[in-house]
Structure 1
Amino acid sequence: MSSLPFSIQLPFKTEANEDLSGCYHDLESSALYRMLPTNAREYVKQCPHLLEYLNIFPVNTYGIPLFFSELTRDVRKIETLNLIYPVGEDTFIHILTDPEDVRNYYIPIEPSFLHSVNTLMPVVEKRLIDLLDALEKDPVTEEERVAVLKNLINEILYARVPGEEIGPGAADTVAEKSVKDRLVAFLNTDFSAKKKADEDDVLAGLMQTADGRIVVSPPEYRALEYMMIRDKIEMGILKPFLSDPNIEDITCDGVGPIFIEHKMLRGLKSVIGFTESRELDAFVIKMAERIKRPITYRNPVVDATLPDGSRINIVYGTEVSKHGSNFTIRKVNEIPLSILQLIDSNTCDYTAAAYLWICLEYGMSMFVSGETASGKTTSLNALTTFLPPENKIVTIEDTPELTVPHRNWTREVAKAKGKGEGDGADVTMFDLLKAALRQRPNQILVGEIRGVEGSVAFSAMQTGHPVMSTFHAASVEKLIQRLCGDPILIPKTHVDNLNIVIIQSAVRRPGGGTVRRMLSINELVGYDPQTQGFSFVEMFHWDPVTDEHVFCGKGSSYLLENKIATLLGIPESKRSEIYFEVEKRANILRRLNAAGCTKFWDLFHMISKIKKQGLLNIEV
């Protein structure tokens, strides 16, 4: 992606607190550095641009920001936000309260943030093209491309330490700009229009080494290298947002700022945005090309997947989007949340998790149902750690989001025929689901049931293949209506092959925040052909007053007493003892949480060890 114009609207009046030009080799000489907490000093040592940002931040008005290495839910209790946390190796995020708005400010601090190198970019790009043409072998992976780009930038630029003599043969020198001068240049830069300059005019004001490398300051070198990698290989100005694991959604509604939904701090507005439709159109075209899904006036809507697995929807042009082109990115976690992390956030509780653990281990089919952004996929993914570690799992998705911890995992993704791909055909979820039935899986996970693949999923259940999936319905009744209606058209007599329905929702709490809760966990018992009604039993329900999950079905579980107990050969007189197994597993989860074994992979490995030791065997 090429470097494109955008606007940066800082929410405060900048001020240069001190001249940092002599501080890069002796940070202790900076009064601002000495004021920072210990963890912030460590960040500054690795990333000097952070100190440059703090130098223009009005600390006398707002105070020194709080520095976090990792955000926790405790930050929600902070009334006036002024905090900084790292994302990636060289980028930081500053969250600042806006007293005039419900959305607070989200300020990415990148190495290129305070260094106006736009006039130099065309010169570097032109030289870069010449060097790339001379490469004997094209890099294949992203890591190889980054390494090659860094090496080539080193052949184009020379980072001169202040006071360093370049040596004989160098071009005529120019006065070195101080940090303050660069700051003034930054504040006066017009980011809304791309800078264009003739190479000779640009080079006339620059110093060059004897071998022709352009001499820049170390901060400018870091800024240029960062921008080149960010814009040529990665996703341009979206990099800080995509690198932040705390972000759930990234939205650009048209001309204006980029909005985000933050896991800890809810709705925020970025200081980065677009000021003209023309610039935004150019950006989304480049972004669509980057993900190999070109967008045009004829085909103005794209649904695709970014390289990191996030889902993106792009709408192009003012004809269909009156505020200008727009895009929405729904991020996926590189490391899925575990069931213990969901318990910590009270999405469910230990007893509900233990109940689901037993049901899934013994082959029950399950749907997680709810509205958009209710956390259905997150919950489904977290529950996969309860599937027996020796099982073969097949996942089928149109957008790859699920991460299964099992080694014997077949991951299949539907494919739509792209434009200009010749005679290639669509490979639908329906096709993949039919193929999965021939692969002898122990469980089939479907990203979402929404069409004719639903009939194949229920056929799989009838033949003894447990199926887990997500579904869009706000209640069990609505779920059954949708299953039996067009286009899924499941015969009513087949619906009870589905054993468990979890209804999940994003709900408002009295404090004003939105949280995700499993509203109910239900067992589908059967279908009465005379009344044409379905019977289901609510095992757990969420109490909105106490924010607790109640095991209302204790003692009346059809699955535990009639299906699982029968599988285990438990005599009818002792079937009530299976509820002790639920409590036993709930206690195991409590101990694992207390021991700090809360992350997705760690939890799966511990459960595998516990199973191998025979601690999960249900005694008859």
Structure 2
Amino acid sequence: MSLLDRVQRQQQEGATPAPPGPPASTLPRPTPAAPPRPAAPVAPPAPDPTGGRSALLARTGMQRAALGRPSAIQAQYQTLRALIHQRLVEEMLDEVNSSHEAVVAKLGELVSEIAAEQSLSLTRQDKQRLVEALTNDVLGLGPLEGLLADPDITEVMVNGPKHIFVEQRGKITRSPVTFESNEQLMQVIDRIVSSIGRRVDESSPMVDARLKDGSRVNVIIPPLALKGPTITIRKFSKDPLQVEDLVKFGTTTADMMEFVRACVAGRMNVVVSGGTGSGKTTTLNILSSFIPDDERIVTIEDAAELQLRQEHVVTLETRPPNVEGRGAVHIRELVINSLRMRPDRIVVGECRGGEALDMLQAMNTGHDGSLTTVHANTPSDVLARLETMVLMAGAELPSRAIREQIASAINLIVHQMRLRDGSRKIVNITEVLGFDGERVEVQDIFHFRQTGVDEDGRVLGYLTPTGTIPRCLEQLQAAGEAIDPSIFTPLRPAVVGGNS
């Protein structure tokens, strides 16, 4: 069994005892807790490729020793990688703008050279895997690169260096991939947040960020994360989903999307609601594609992740405070500023606080056709949450006035859920009718009717119109978006299987 195979087996089994490694003369045994030993007629002790602990690791007080002493096999592998990494830095120090291909080629040369110096026998497969791992460490996100490249994985959750979980087809499973140490994990975190000019340390242990492809990242580190640095990555599809994809997945129907398309094109204000991971951002992306190309769109987000395809789009992103605690720019301030930017449409990635008041006022003052998302369990809860968020703005308004604002601003609620089998569905399309003096009136136009669960745990049911004709049809027709009323006729369930 090769060196890399033995390392991988030990990491997956979580074993600390290890079989005896090659003779001591082939590679030194690292002693991180002891001072450097005098020079010996064997290879020198492994240098630290980071030049000591990274600044981020030192600031958070994370200690590599907390993971336990590495086995002999793991120590040899780590030392080999450290030597190659240090040699790469030394030999390419003056080549700051080296291409990806040049770095990979140089790593291949160094692996062969240092393996020969250490009298290590590496197969071609071992060499290829080692070069790939080092490339990910030097140019990418280390062990996460393989997970991010897998098109079937939609979410990556890192709970410390040795526990990584992924979501595939709606199901969460543990991945065999691990980090070597807290230090390696913190280096990856530093690389992610620094790429967009943000920071994470003991004074600011939580941060939202994004990857180069737009994937959303949340990071929280000790002392708030008790079991080690934690990363949650919501991956973005390289090819954004289209209406046809949602219909094929069983998330919605063609008739439902035709109605929503007419509402967006007809400049009605739409709220996309649902729980965490229900697919709100995906649906918001698709709804935004219905906005005509000749309109000016301003998007506002905490971490930019919307993928609008129109040409005239202004993307705004919040900013966290600096080291001195100053300079923060929140969504509410961006919403207020966007009103001065002559927008035809305002798209807010998520309303979660006082910005809801400014969003409602914008919708009520000529900026119709706006879109946003809200965390809520049902369409009725959306209205209650909006009322609560308006109060969070510090506005001393009576409940009646707030409800009147909501009723006149919001026209449609598209509610999405992640069902127990992992499938995602638009379970309600609800029209907001108005304010009756006490509460905001709503009516469901489409809904998902669940009929049961099969023996494999899949949710059974069907999407159907409720039979209610929307009151907004006349308004849509006046806007040039005529809809065939027959699409609102309730369906008989020919097929009740739940797609995922």
Q: Please say whether Structure 1 and Structure 2 have the same fold, judged by a TM-score greater than 0.5.
A: yes
Which residue of the other structure, out of 510, 515, 520, is the alignment partner of 2:423?
515
> How far, CA to CA, are the matches of 2:446 and 2:383 in structure 1?
19
| 1:63 alignment counterpart | none
| 1:233 alignment counterpart | 139
Which residue of the other structure, out of 449, 456, 465, is the alignment partner of 1:551?
465
Contact 1:395–1:446 at 8 Å: present in 2 too?
yes
| 2:117 alignment counterpart | 203
> How far, CA to CA, are the matches of 1:503 and 1:385 in structure 2?
18
Which residue of the other structure, out of 9, 14, 20, is the alignment partner of 2:12?
9
| 1:476 alignment counterpart | 379
By how many angstroms is 1:294 displaced? 4.7
Is residue 2:339 matched to residue 1:437?
A: yes
Farther off after superposition, 447-456 or 217-226? 217-226
Is residue 2:198 matched to residue 1:253?
A: no
Which residue of the other structure, out of 341, 354, 366, is the alignment partner of 2:258?
354
| 1:367 alignment counterpart | 271
Correspondence list, 1:136-535, <5 A: 138-139=96-97, 145-153=99-107, 156=110, 203=117, 205=119, 218-254=124-160, 256-263=162-169, 266-273=171-178, 280-291=181-192, 292=194, 293-317=198-222, 320-419=224-323, 425-465=327-367, 466-485=369-388, 486-488=391-393, 491-496=402-407, 497-508=409-420, 513-529=421-437, 532-535=438-441
Gap change, CA 1:302 and 1:358, over 3 Å in 2: closer
> How far, CA to CA, are the matches of 1:582 and 1:419 in structure 2?
59
TM-score, normalised by the number of residues in structure 2: 0.72
Which residue of the other structure, out of 560, 567, 570, is the alignment partner of 2:473?
560
> How far, CA to CA, are the matches of 1:363 and 1:524 in structure 2?
15
By how many angstroms is 1:358 displaced? 0.8
Q: Deviations over 1:260-285 (max 9, x none)?
A: 11126x222222236xxxx6432332
> How far, CA to CA, are the matches of 1:382 and 1:482 in structure 2?
24
| 1:77 alignment counterpart | none
**1:526 counterpart letter in structure 2:** G
Gap change, CA 1:525 and 1:247, over 3 Å in 2: same
> How far, CA to CA, are the matches of 1:132 and 1:156 in structure 2?
12
By how many angstroms is 1:359 displaced? 0.9
Q: Deviations over 1:3-34 (max 9, x none)?
A: xx9863279xxxxxxxxxxxxxxxxxxxxxxx
Contact 1:351–1:583 at 8 Å: present in 2 too?
yes
Which residue of the other structure, out of 80, 86, 94, is the alignment partner of 1:120?
80
By how many angstroms is 1:309 displaced? 2.7
TM-score, normalised by the number of residues in structure 1: 0.59
> How far, CA to CA, are the matches of 1:238 and 1:304 in structure 2?
16
By how many angstroms is 1:342 displaced? 0.8
Gap change, CA 1:122 and 1:322, over 3 Å in 2: closer
Contact 1:346–1:517 at 8 Å: present in 2 too?
yes
Gap change, CA 1:566 and 1:205, over 3 Å in 2: closer
Contact 2:111–2:131 at 8 Å: present in 1 too?
no
Gap change, CA 1:294 and 1:384, over 3 Å in 2: closer
Contact 2:465–2:487 at 8 Å: present in 1 too?
no
Q: Deviations over 1:410-435 (max 9, x none)?
A: 11111112336xx9612221222222
By how many angstroms is 1:472 displaced? 0.9
**2:450 counterpart letter in structure 1:** P
Q: Deviations over 1:197-249 (max 9, x none)?
A: xx7x9715269xxxxxxxx7643443343122200110001111111122122
By how many angstroms is 1:299 displaced? 4.1
Could you tell me the percent identity over the aligned residues? 26
By how many angstroms is 1:126 displaced? 2.8
> How far, CA to CA, are the matches of 2:90 and 2:124 in structure 1?
24
Gap change, CA 1:258 and 1:417, over 3 Å in 2: same
Contact 1:284–1:316 at 8 Å: present in 2 too?
no
Gap change, CA 1:286 and 1:557, over 3 Å in 2: same
> How far, CA to CA, are the matches of 2:118 and 2:432 in structure 1?
78
> How far, CA to CA, are the matches of 2:449 and 2:118 in structure 1?
72
Structure 2, unpaired ranges of 5+: 1-6, 15-75, 396-400, 452-459, 489-500
Contact 2:186–2:229 at 8 Å: present in 1 too?
no
> How far, CA to CA, are the matches of 1:424 and 1:394 in structure 2?
25
Contact 1:370–1:475 at 8 Å: present in 2 too?
yes
By how many angstroms is 1:503 displaced? 1.5
> How far, CA to CA, are the matches of 1:125 and 1:481 in structure 2?
55
Gap change, CA 1:414 and 1:295, over 3 Å in 2: closer
By how many angstroms is 1:253 displaced? 3.0
**2:351 counterpart letter in structure 1:** I
Structure 1, unpaired ranges of 5+: 12-115, 160-198, 208-215, 571-577, 585-620
Contact 1:117–1:220 at 8 Å: present in 2 too?
no
Contact 1:315–1:327 at 8 Å: present in 2 too?
yes
Contact 1:10–1:271 at 8 Å: present in 2 too?
no
> How far, CA to CA, are the matches of 1:478 and 1:246 in structure 2?
32
Gap change, CA 1:432 and 1:299, over 3 Å in 2: closer
By how many angstroms is 1:471 displaced? 0.2
Correspondence list, 1:82-93, <5 A: none
By how many angstroms is 1:583 displaced? 5.4
| 1:601 alignment counterpart | none
Q: Deviations over 1:124-165 (max 9, x none)?
A: 223212222233xx32xxxx5423413533664669xxxxxx
By how many angstroms is 1:258 displaced? 1.7
Query: SS state of the match for residue 359, structure 2?
Result: helix
Contact 1:355–1:582 at 8 Å: present in 2 too?
no
Gap change, CA 1:206 and 1:478, over 3 Å in 2: closer
> How far, CA to CA, are the matches of 1:477 and 1:157 in structure 2?
61
Contact 1:258–1:270 at 8 Å: present in 2 too?
yes
| 1:129 alignment counterpart | 89
Farther off after superposition, 329-338 or 460-469? 329-338
> How far, CA to CA, are the matches of 2:226 and 2:107 in structure 1?
41
RMSD over aligned Cα, in angstroms?
3.1
Contact 2:447–2:465 at 8 Å: present in 1 too?
yes
Query: SS state of the match for residue 423, structure 2?
Result: strand
**2:107 counterpart letter in structure 1:** I
Q: Deviations over 1:25-81 (max 9, x none)?
A: xxxxxxxxxxxxxxxxxxxxxxxxxxxxxxxxxxxxxxxxxxxxxxxxxxxxxxxxx
